[in-house]
Structure 1
Amino acid sequence: MHKILRLILPFLWYTTTLAQTPAVNHSLVPVGLRCDLLAFSDYQSVNGYPVPSQWNKTAFEQTQSVHLLSKMPAFSWEIASKGENIMQQAYRLLVADNPDSLAANKGTIWDSGKIRASASTAVDYKGPALEEQKCYYWKVKVWDTSGEESPYSKPVVFYTGKTLVDYQTVRYPLAKTDTYPKTMRQGTGLVFADFGKDAFGQLKLTLACHTEDDTVLVHFGEALTSDGRINRQPGGTIRYRNYRLPLKQGIHTYQIRFHPDKRNTGSTAVLMPDYIGEVLPFRYIELEGYAGKLTKENVVRSVVNYPFNDEAAFFESSDSVLNKIWELCKYSVKATTFAGVYVDGDRERIPYEADAYINQLCHYAVDKEYSLARYSHEYLIKHATWPTEWILQSVLMATNDYLYTGDLRSARKYYADLKAKTLTALEEANGLISTTTGKQHTDFLRSIHFNGEALKDIVDWPHSGILGLGKDDVGETDGFVFTDYNAVVNAYYYKALRGMAELSKALGYQQEASDYGRKAERVYQVFQKQFFDPKQKIYRDGIGTNHASLHTNMFALAFELVPEKYKSTVLAFVRSRGLACSVYGSQFLMDAIYNADDGDYGLSLLTDTAQRSWYNMIREGSTITMEAWGNQYKPNQDWNHVWGAVPANIIPRKLMGVEPLKPGWDHFQIKPQIGNLQYARIKVPTIKGAIEVDCQQSDSQFFIEAKIPANTKADLWIPAKQVKGKIKVQVNGKQQAANAVNGWIKLLALGSGNYQIAVAN
């Protein structure tokens, strides 16, 4: 009997203990861990080439690597589960100063304990002060709303810099990738190579020489002539250069050393770091005077860009032109990160707010990357440029930054600067702002960090009569009439005030949030009174003129200044003007069109093949978006300007309708407006995980499949233009009743999981 008890009791103890131990749900395990928004805080490279990361101080110090600079970093993670209605209820985060302690589940530096919260983005470190130049290791586990517990995530390391501050954005080092020609042609004394796409990079050649005095002339270019040679006089700022390369006897590998360009290496330009060296945008090379034979492996272009995940985003549709536009614009975002900060292309390499605003939205849409957008935004806060509206865009960028990351630390640090950049100092008694009424005093300009004489209203760029445009050339402003009170400027003012109200509230500044809200409401009312033309039911350019431009009306629609009852007349006017704006202005034109639920017109512009179109950039030979619709529209234009890449964000945000509603993507919407496309499918990267949407339609049915990440909720808008009132919708094979209102069926606050929804047309 005792022998039997000795055998049974351990079993009873084990099974009883097991029953009392909460089950660990491996599908909940946190993934995609980020420290200070960086997914790879252990990133290490040598001279631009990534190397295997070693988790020790020596490796971090002897490579180009990530050094965190904030005393109180912030942590983010995703939840891997693809289950239904998975929401985080609590988390526990450990930080240790050695990997062995962390492996033993000991937070020797900080153990958060079990924190009951759904927050999984921008969770602040709350342990003791971190030491400088030291490795720290962390991991996290979560519980869902049913109480199920996840395993701990895989560990992650970060390294602190020499000097720690309260908060500072960090970036990755720039990366190099060696590429080879897609095609090569060799003739007598001439080698032509095409790398397939334009890129900022350098060139290495492995050449053979049988004498002591051979010389090769190397040509670099972005454009070709009609006979397939590199264009030596491409015009504008389209690049062409040549270098004479003396050869040594034998077989040697040569690195072409590019000479700095005076214009893009001046005092206000962003310079290339020493570990990378100077770069040039080129797609084609020609070797003139080389008699040997070359393989593609002998011709190496070292492409430079910010680390980029080509697989983070995906889009495909039934329209081949739209697919080409997407690929052009997505690649443009990657290619133009070569400087480690958003710049205006190769001509000047200077950051501008307008470029950065568009670049920010595009970068969010094509990669799960936030540090470069944040760094560029913060750079521009201290290095303001001259257009009035572009100062106001700093506030718009700060609002986007918080909305997409859920991280308020940047807004908190730069709050005083953002307040100044709302330009309330220029507000007159009528509630509108003006740059021409004598308020641009020295203290004001200093407060916005502008070193010039005065701000000037821009509306769009270029204006007629400048940059090689004749007086009869209309420029890109659609004949906008500038007055003391500019409707476009004040539309921006309204948008900035609304953004500051949101940021102030999130930061806990309730009185200032209320003040900004009241100011915004006043601007809204004055905007209607001063700029609205009740006869035409559209908006005028300013006080004192009856002229109405595309720009005034598209900005009013884009920034939600148009009352519902007048949206149809304003939209009709916008449609009548076509693409009478620049590639920069097209950002707000497309926002306006889709905000007015006119996806048919939006798609027609995205897929247009006329001269003023994104397709024209491809037709003229560029593989990175241009600074203008074509060479004829801006005489000094370049072929590597990301502010022309607007479809990279419009396709995900508006055509597919995937946009955050609450900070950190806690709640978002899917509102597809796919026009007459037979199908369109997309993967949108977010800080909570990828959102996937697949739309298909026929004459009889609209079908949508949506994959919603864990720890989020989504509002799903389903187009139902042919039906009104009650309608049956099939959700995951089950029929349910829904209401069709204004052409939409809304399914609100859907939890995570995979949804398949069909609506009969």
Structure 2
Amino acid sequence: MNPPFFPIRLPNVLRTFQMLVALLLLLPFSLFPQSPPTGLRVDLIEHSDRVFIHGELSQLSLWEVESIIEPVQTAAVTNTRPVFSWEMGDTRPGIRQTAFQLQVDTAAFADGRTPLWDSGKRLTSRQQVAYGGSPLSPQTTYAYRVRLWNNRGESTPWSQPKAFRTGAELTPGGLATYPLQQMDEFVLLEKDIRPGLRFYDFGKAAFGRLKLTAATRSEDDTLIVRLGEVVTRHGRLDPEPGGSRRFREVKLPLRQGRHTYTLAIQKDARNTRPGAILMPDYIGDVYPFRYAEVEGEATVLQLSRETVIYPFDDLSSDFECADLVLNDIWDFCKYSIKATSFAGLYVDGDRERIPYEADAYINQLCHYGVEAEYTLARKTQSYLLFHPTWPTEWILSTVLMAWEDYLYTGNADFIARHYDDLQAKSLRSLTETNGLISTRTGKLTDSVLQSIHFEGGRLRDIVDWPHKGILGLSGDDSGETDGFVFTDYNAVVNAYHNRALQVMAKIAAALDKEADAAAYAAQAVAHREAFNRAFLDPEKGYYTDGIGTDHSSLHANMFALAFGLVPAERVATVTAFVQSRGMACSVYGSQHLLDAVYAGEEAAYGLSLLTSETDRGWAHAIYEVGTTISLEAWDNKYKPNQDWNHAWGAAPANIIPMRLMGVKPTRPGFATFQVKPQPADLAWARLRYPTIRGEIGVAFEQTPGERFALALTVPPNSEAEVWIPWAGASPRLMVNEQPAEYRRVRGFLVVAGVTPGGWRFVVE
């Protein structure tokens, strides 16, 4: 068992500064009217001008790259027609974009020079445009800039030019991604175990390599170095941590004098086999560890960890509330998303280092919850489209990922380019005469598998993972499926399928494929009716697992609730059954359980699940297990071979901002969004939430049943619909100290059309 994880929260001075900045955003007038655009991106890459050497961020500019002898890494733009986007820098209330002009050139826009491409002034509120000039050249540095016009008839100055560099090969729809970043992290705690043996704690686990500087007078001195993730109750590294938890011992021969050494990582056959994501040569292999022990007579002068991540902005989001446990859970899950990005794709942890669709879907939502970074999710989607995995539900998750990509970015490139593939991934080709789909009735032919790019083996229904009797579980262990009974027609598979049909209707509509949109919408309705005929038990009032069984699991019901399949008159009975089962699912299942609970507006139950201190909760992982990265399972006993670095266990990183605080886009690219906090009895909370249009700020304080106050910052060129939780009768709503109208929807007061700027809502 590891010692408790105490997250390093931002100093109070910095937090106070952030709050002052947030308050400035609520002022009626910007201090900098007509500010130039900010947050420029090319193909979703915000920091296209950064240069790395062996993965370490340098001070070089892109314009210097060709004169550098040492190999460098940059964010390579590989699209023949990259898409440029920006944020409005003008934060005055009500400001909207009415037009833009964007220029691209091979230099930094010298006066009098005609740019390579000029979009001209375009009358639109859209905050992105595809390149439309002469073909870009490979391995070339370009600059771009943009200026805007607003609804007051004002124009902004040009933005600061931002540079980007094209890759070695340009293709239509080519992806832009960052290189991996390597940085030195230093020991947080060190102590002597005994003479000649010293223990080091970096505070958190991470993927990297150990680097140490040692001095010796001997010509044949040796240090024994141990790395690991788990310590014993005696404060020593555990040499037998079990499962896929890591421990490694290395004998390090030393050279006479003072020298710096970087420990080489030996190849692991399991996570370097075909299908695994290999580390790039400029980084080399990495190993997950938090602790180190160094034994020997030589003097260790310095010890650090070369940590590897996909570039991550720690300060782009923040959450804090009255519940200290929930604060720790947020920090824990946010850090998990950062730490598990080490491979440059969303992978399933250290044991296999393989992308899986359901893992990636949760990882994507969590990443969107903590950072406005969209390229890693898109790169992973692109990989999984052509490297699918075996679970039926995972194939369907591909469609869900594609929609979230478009919804959060407003960039339709991916869904347009892969529309046919996404149609195949909806698995409507498996539809039987009863209106349901099945992988077990003969429809899963080779041609179907070929259409979804699946090679080798067959699809199998999974429901949740692990099942009983495998991966170290005995036949007496229940596994994580809540006793689900597998039949030819599976309620969970069909719930996923219905959600995929709903999403395909939206994707088709976004691409102006009106006939397809209507067809998918009709199929979703027909399938929903078939689903409820087949699986909804009219006597129980909730769902069975499949045709031919009367067993009802948590999963059959939570997925139906999460994906909007439950008839209005049955929501109460399904919700009651879901609550009766508790957290009878894996950490993967917790994402969908919490989605279901908050979709059913059961805020108190949702908060109890988030903050639970049972062995099926995140507090247990932090305080009892002692991990600093989210787990593959709730505890080692629930999956004995688990590793301690699985992003699919970090659901609160998206549930807190998107469900508890209630911030979700309702039109692509946050053109409009909803703020629907469901705080239960939480006294106060505040959130800084990054989006592609700029930061959303939400804070509330309440005395339940007496008063609820909400502060909101809406970014420029966006619009919010605010749902204020209030169950009392005859409420009086004040907005910016003025009486306001609202509509009543169940336990909420709804205010639509909330324009850019700072707002304060008070209901008593």
Normalised to the residue count of structure 1, the TM-score between the two structures is 0.94
**Residue 57 of structure 2, aligned match among 45, 50, 59:** 50
CA distance in 2, matches of 1:613, 1:377: 29
**Residue 486 of structure 2, aligned match among 459, 473, 482:** 482
Q: Secondary structure at the match of 2:297?
A: coil
The alignment status of 1:689 with 2:694, answered yes or no, reads yes
CA contact (8 A) 1:670 1:717 kept: yes
The alignment status of 1:706 with 2:715, answered yes or no, reads no
AA at the equivalent of 1:132: P
CA contact (8 A) 1:342 1:373 kept: yes
**Residue-pair matches, total:** 729
CA contact (8 A) 1:25 1:149 kept: no
AA at the equivalent of 2:647: V
1:221 paired residue number:
228
CA deviation map 1:49-108 (0-9, x unaligned): 01123232516994111221111110110012221111111111111222244x55x552
The alignment status of 1:130 with 2:136, answered yes or no, reads yes
1:65 paired residue number:
74
The alignment status of 1:212 with 2:212, answered yes or no, reads no
1:8 paired residue number:
none
Distance apart, 1:256 and its partner CA: 0.5
Structure 2's unaligned 5+ residue stretches are: 1-30
Please give the residue correspondences for 1:21-60 in structure 2 after superposition, counting only pairs within 5 Å.
Answer: 26-56=33-63, 58=66
AA at the equivalent of 1:166: P
**Residue 100 of structure 2, aligned match among 77, 91, 94:** 91
Q: Secondary structure at the match of 1:99?
A: coil
Please give the residue correspondences for 1:672-687 in structure 2 after superposition, counting only pairs within 5 Å.
Answer: 672-687=677-692
CA distance in 2, matches of 1:301, 1:351: 26
CA contact (8 A) 2:56 2:181 kept: yes
AA at the equivalent of 1:424: R
Q: Secondary structure at the match of 2:206?
A: strand
Q: Secondary structure at the match of 1:591?
A: helix
CA distance in 2, matches of 1:29, 1:504: 35
Distance apart, 1:289 and its partner CA: 2.2
Distance apart, 1:371 and its partner CA: 0.3
AA at the equivalent of 1:757: F
CA deviation map 1:458-485 (0-9, x unaligned): 0000000111111110000001111111
Distance apart, 1:727 and its partner CA: 3.1
Distance apart, 1:217 and its partner CA: 0.8
CA distance in 2, matches of 1:629, 1:177: 30
CA deviation map 1:431-486 (0-9, x unaligned): 11100011222121111111122100000000001111111100000011111110
CA contact (8 A) 1:343 1:349 kept: yes
Cα distance change on mapping 1:160 and 1:209 into 2, 3 Å: same
CA contact (8 A) 1:727 1:738 kept: no
CA distance in 1, matches of 2:568, 2:670: 27
Structure 1's unaligned 5+ residue stretches are: 1-23
CA distance in 2, matches of 1:69, 1:213: 50
CA distance in 2, matches of 1:26, 1:612: 51
CA contact (8 A) 2:463 2:493 kept: yes
Q: Secondary structure at the match of 1:685?
A: strand
CA deviation map 1:394-423 (0-9, x unaligned): 000000000000111111111111111011
CA distance in 2, matches of 1:37, 1:59: 27
Distance apart, 1:749 and its partner CA: 1.7
CA distance in 1, matches of 2:564, 2:241: 42
Distance apart, 1:539 and its partner CA: 1.0
AA at the equivalent of 2:548: G
CA distance in 2, matches of 1:360, 1:248: 46
Please give the residue correspondences for 1:620-639 in structure 2 after superposition, counting only pairs within 5 Å.
Answer: 620-639=625-644
CA contact (8 A) 1:180 1:301 kept: yes
CA contact (8 A) 2:270 2:351 kept: yes
CA distance in 1, matches of 2:106, 2:259: 47
CA deviation map 1:356-390 (0-9, x unaligned): 00000000111110000100011000100000000
1:644 paired residue number:
649
CA distance in 1, matches of 2:109, 2:229: 53
**Residue 663 of structure 2, aligned match among 658, 663, 673:** 658
The alignment status of 1:153 with 2:159, answered yes or no, reads yes
AA at the equivalent of 2:79: S
Q: Secondary structure at the match of 2:731?
A: strand
Q: Secondary structure at the match of 2:315?
A: coil
**Residue 191 of structure 2, aligned match among 166, 169, 185:** 185
Q: Secondary structure at the match of 2:740?
A: strand
Please give the residue correspondences for 1:715-754 in structure 2 after superposition, counting only pairs within 5 Å.
Answer: 715-723=721-729, 727-754=731-758
**Residue 608 of structure 1, aligned match among 602, 605, 612:** 612
**Residue 431 of structure 1, aligned match among 435, 452, 458:** 435
1:197 paired residue number:
204
CA contact (8 A) 1:727 1:737 kept: no
CA contact (8 A) 1:25 1:148 kept: no
CA distance in 1, matches of 2:742, 2:500: 37
CA distance in 2, matches of 1:87, 1:100: 27
CA contact (8 A) 2:99 2:122 kept: yes
Q: Secondary structure at the match of 1:213?
A: coil
- Which is further off, 161-170 or 616-625? 161-170
Q: Secondary structure at the match of 1:361?
A: helix
Please give the residue correspondences for 1:258-273 in structure 2 after superposition, counting only pairs within 5 Å.
Answer: 258-273=265-280
Normalised to the residue count of structure 2, the TM-score between the two structures is 0.94
- Which is further off, 632-641 or 212-221? 212-221
Q: Secondary structure at the match of 2:34?
A: helix
2:384 paired residue number:
380
CA distance in 1, matches of 2:137, 2:467: 53
AA at the equivalent of 1:84: P
CA distance in 1, matches of 2:275, 2:81: 32
CA deviation map 1:586-612 (0-9, x unaligned): 000000000000111000010010111
Distance apart, 1:511 and its partner CA: 1.5
AA at the equivalent of 1:73: P
Q: Secondary structure at the match of 2:144?
A: strand
CA contact (8 A) 1:316 1:323 kept: yes
Distance apart, 1:513 and its partner CA: 1.5
**Residue 529 of structure 1, aligned match among 533, 538, 550:** 533
Please give the residue correspondences for 1:121-520 in structure 2 after superposition, counting only pairs within 5 Å.
Answer: 121=128, 123-186=129-192, 187-292=194-299, 294=300, 298-520=302-524
CA distance in 2, matches of 1:396, 1:615: 29
Distance apart, 1:26 and its partner CA: 4.3
Distance apart, 1:134 and its partner CA: 2.0
CA distance in 2, matches of 1:54, 1:612: 48
**Residue 90 of structure 2, aligned match among 73, 81, 84:** 81
CA contact (8 A) 2:586 2:634 kept: yes
Spell out structure 1 runs of 4+ moving beyond 4 A: 59-62
Aligned CA RMSD, in angstroms, stands at 1.4
CA distance in 1, matches of 2:617, 2:447: 43
CA contact (8 A) 1:94 1:107 kept: no
- Which is further off, 181-190 or 578-587? 181-190
AA at the equivalent of 1:681: R
Identity %: 49
CA deviation map 1:208-258 (0-9, x unaligned): 112122211101010000100000000110100110011121111111001
CA distance in 2, matches of 1:331, 1:25: 34
Highest Rg: 1 or 2? 1
CA contact (8 A) 1:389 1:459 kept: yes
Q: Secondary structure at the match of 1:108?
A: coil
1:13 paired residue number:
none
CA distance in 2, matches of 1:189, 1:162: 51
CA distance in 1, matches of 2:325, 2:567: 35
- Which is further off, 511-520 or 314-323? 511-520
Q: Secondary structure at the match of 1:278?
A: coil
